[in-house]
């Protein structure tokens, strides 16, 4: 049986929901129709809670074959790195997003 892999929209929705529940402000740049956003702009801009101020750009991809950054996205990522702005690519809420939240101290995993 084939393993179910969520769509980019499903992954994005789960990540946005979790981050907002934890006090992050999340702004979507992605658009369902012909984009009015400059090519290469990431899907989300995320502002961290007041307890630990900061922000980062977030591009959502999936575990599906062929889901990778386009050249314009790679260029934008390189500009962020050059300017010292965090740019992340997450493929799942339960791995990439959760692991980052634990690593940064926004959530604490219970060792039951």
User: Per residue of the chain (112 residues), what is the pLDDT tens digit?
Assistant: 778 888 889 999 999 999 999 999 999 987 666 566 678 899 999 999 987 889 999 999 987 777 889 999 999 999 999 999 999 999 999 899 999 999 998 988 877 6
Give me the residue spans of the domains in the chain.
8-103
18 phi/psi in degrees, rounded to 5: -65, -50
Residue for token digits 């129709």? 33
Pick the CATH number of 8-103 from 1.10.760.10, 3.40.50.2300, 3.40.1350.10, 3.20.20.140: 3.40.1350.10
So what's the pLDDT on residue 2? Answer: 76
> pTM score, two decimals?
0.87
């Amino acid at each position: 049986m084939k393993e179910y892999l969520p769509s980019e929209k499903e992954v994005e929705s789960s990540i946005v929901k979790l981050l907002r529940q934890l006090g992050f402000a999340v702004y979507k740049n992605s658009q369902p129709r012909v984009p009015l956003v400059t090519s290469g702009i990431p899907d989300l801009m995320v502002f961290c809670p007041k307890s630990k101020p900061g922000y980062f750009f977030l591009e959502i991809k999936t575990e599906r074959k062929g889901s990778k950054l386009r050249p314009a996205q790679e260029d934008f990522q390189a500009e962020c790195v050059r300017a010292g702005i965090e740019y992340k690519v997450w493929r799942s809420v339960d791995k990439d997003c959760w692991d980052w939240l634990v690593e940064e101290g926004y959530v604490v995993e219970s060792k039951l």
